Amino acid sequence: MALRRPPTRIELKADDVEDYDRIMKERRLQAEQQAMKASQLKSHATPSADISLGMDSFAPSSKKPSASERIGYRQQR
């Protein structure tokens, strides 16, 4: 037997909307600042550093594990 109850009602107030807008604006500014810092660091990098960074992405240690490896499943043979 299931108990029936009315759905929970969540009311949104004007203060909540203002807080949300303020927080989202702060996050956008932080993201833009991080992007600017990253682009500045990239522009100061030497060409040899770019090449070495590119080669590290092909290292065997960066290989993504398969789904069965991630969850620890081993097939029985």
Question: SS in 3 state form for 5-39?
Answer: CCCCCCCCCHHHHHHHHHHHHHHHHHHHHHHHHHH
- Tell me what pLDDT residue 61 has: 58
- The boundaries of the domain holding residue 65 are 14-71
Average pLDDT, the chain: 79
d(CA 5, CA 49): 63
Number of domains, the chain: 1
**Claim: this prediction has a pTM higher than 0.85:** no
- Assigned domain for 7 exists: no
- Tell me what pLDDT residue 73 has: 80
Least confident of 5-14, 15-24, 61-70: 61-70
Structure-model confidence comparison of residues 6 and 44, the more confident one: 6
Checking if the pLDDT of 47 tops 60, the result is no
- Tell me what pLDDT residue 52 has: 52
- Assigned domain for 61 exists: yes
